[in-house]
Amino acid sequence: MTTLADRLKDADLLKTDSFINGQWVGADTRFAVNSPGDRSHLADVADVGGAGARSAIDAADKAFKGWGKTSVFERARIVQRWHDLILEHADDLGTLITAEMGKPFGEAKGEVTYGAGFVNWSAEEAKRLHGETLQTPFPGTRGWTVRQPVGVVVCITPWNFPSAMITRKCGPALAAGCSVVVKPAPETPLSALALAELARRAGFPDGVFNVICGDAKAIGEVMTSSDAVRMVGFTGSTEVGKLLMRQAADGVKRVSLELGGNAPFIIMDDADLDAAADGVIASKFRAAGQTCVSANRIIAQAGIADALIERVTERMKKLKVGSGFESGVQIGPLIHDEAVERVDALVQDAKGKGAKVLVGGSPMADELGGSFYAPTLIESGSNFSLSIANSEIFGPVASVYRVESEEEIIRLANSTPYGLAAYVYTRDIGRVHRLSEGLEFGMVGVNAPMVGSPATPFGGVKESGIGREGGKWGVEEFTELKFVLLGGVNK
């Protein structure tokens, strides 16, 4: 039987202990990591718990004192080395993602490259963290601003992008001069630990970059209550984000939260319908629909709804479902069996309330031997009260709605507590402006099904979060703006 280590070109990237203060630290308690694609056991990872969190934060606190003061050029060299090593080992990092999370290998490798882009960008961008000289009202004074690193940052990350959600936070944090403690999701610790091994090789001083695995609640409590921690970066559910925000409030820690979404994918009657159907497939089925920016409500203007459904159906029938390691597969498994049950419950509920299932509509676990769900297309009419319209589907289920007017489309699209990504397909320039301005979302893709890149701001409004990752904003997020007033300048 091929083990995970056998699949790697560099088996040393397979780590199962936590990385604290430059050392690999084990624990008596371990938790199993299993592959959602075939249910095989991959590894037993040490749970270092609250005690591990404490020692990692202590190490990060000590390390920050030096790292925060090094020249940005020196820091950027090490951050850049980390980037280069990530790309050099993209095959292995992709293999780890596919094994523990399930997404197709090509997509997994794409995630590695995408995530590495933030590391590279940040290494460059941190050199441009400029201050300004300011006018002052007081005679004989001068004023200026400087940007300084926030301090010790903790990052709590999800399983759907096991690699990129870490690099997207840690690239800018490290380049800005912060030290970091990462807690990855229990489903996908191996990608995080491999990144730690590459950070070790890149030459970060001990304690600057730490990865700890284990009990989320215990670790989260230590992280949010420690005086040394100045910032909590989180990507995950809105529920846990709110909890962490409440916990961080006592110490008035900075929070950067990237939470759930309920993306409307709007197709207006003047749209290029082939491009829109391609967009639906790209947005809906990447990572089997398990992304916070996945199309959640496909809103077609009534006149073109049938033509769109026909095009989407045609494309969906060609999607290949299976193990992420099998060539040609576009849809891998969901993260675990509970996810399959949750997605199926949404589909059955919609069906019971009158929605029509046009493609798929059931689990494929029995035939494929893993946590699979068939790519599914549902026609939900104009029933926006369905659970499937109001919860994040996080699965390969496309639910299409029909709405007549532009005003009603904007109103319905905004009728959610979430505000992460929205998509609009139209060729009318007036509509481009009216919709992109009217939609209460942090990002709007117009005739574009994907919105994230290292150079651009990623983040949400309303209950989808606070803060932005990417671009100059993603680096600034990890800095404090300090004002200095100098007196006694006049003789």
Minimum CB–partner distance for residue 219 and ligand ADP (Å): 6
**Residue of 252, 53, 255, 35 lying closest to 162 (CA atoms):** 35
35, 367 Cβ separation under 8 angstroms? no
Mark the segment that binds ligand ADP (CB under 6 A) among 129-137, 156-164, 317-325, 368-376: 156-164
Mark the segment that binds ligand ADP (CB under 6 A) among 140-148, 155-163, 189-197, 446-454: 155-163
Tell me which of 217, 246, 317, 482 binds ligand ADP, using CB under 6 A.
217
Minimum CB–partner distance for residue 243 and ligand ADP (Å): 6
- For position 220 contacting ligand ADP by CB under 6 A, the verdict is yes
- For position 358 contacting ligand ADP by CB under 6 A, the verdict is no
Pairing of strands 376-379, 356-359: antiparallel
- For position 277 contacting ligand ADP by CB under 6 A, the verdict is no
E-strand ranges in 214-294 read: 229-235, 254-258, 263-267
Between 129 and 166, CB nearer to ligand ADP: 166
- For position 216 contacting ligand ADP by CB under 6 A, the verdict is yes
Token pair, residue 469, equals 């990752």
Between 183 and 230, CB nearer to ligand ADP: 183
Distances (CA, A) of 134 to 149, 481, 490: 21, 13, 17
Tell me which of 36, 68, 102, 158 binds ligand ADP, using CB under 6 A.
158
- For position 186 contacting ligand ADP by CB under 6 A, the verdict is yes
234, 241 Cβ separation under 8 angstroms? yes
Strands ordered across the beta sheet of 295-301: 356-359, 376-379, 397-403, 295-301, 263-267, 421-425, 443-446
292 given a catalytic annotation: yes
48, 212 Cβ separation under 8 angstroms? yes
Task: Draw the binding track, 235-274, toward ligand ADP (x: CB under 6 A; -: no contact).
Answer: -xx--x--xx------------------------------
Minimum CB–partner distance for residue 340 and ligand ADP (Å): 14
Alpha helix positions (H), 250-354: 273-285, 305-316, 337-352
Minimum CB–partner distance for residue 73 and ligand ADP (Å): 33
Count of residues that bind ligand ADP according to CB under 6 A: 15
Radius of gyration of the chain (CA): 23
Q: What is the DSSP string of 196-212?
A: HHHHHHHTPPTTSEEE-
Q: By Cβ distance, which residue is nearest to ligand ADP?
A: 220
Mark the segment that binds ligand ADP (CB under 6 A) among 181-189, 192-200, 395-403, 469-477: 181-189
**Residue of 362, 322, 361 lying closest to 38 (CA atoms):** 322
258 given a catalytic annotation: yes
Q: Tokens 């689990």 label which residue?
A: 363
216, 235 Cβ separation under 8 angstroms? no
Alpha carbon of residue 373 to chain centroid: 22
Tell me which of 185, 267, 393, 444 binds ligand ADP, using CB under 6 A.
185
Considering 100, 187, 197, 258, which one is annotated as catalytic?
Answer: 258
Give the residues lining the site for ligand ADP (CB under 6 A). Answer: 156-158, 183-186, 216-217, 220, 236-237, 240, 243-244
Catalytic residue set: 258, 292
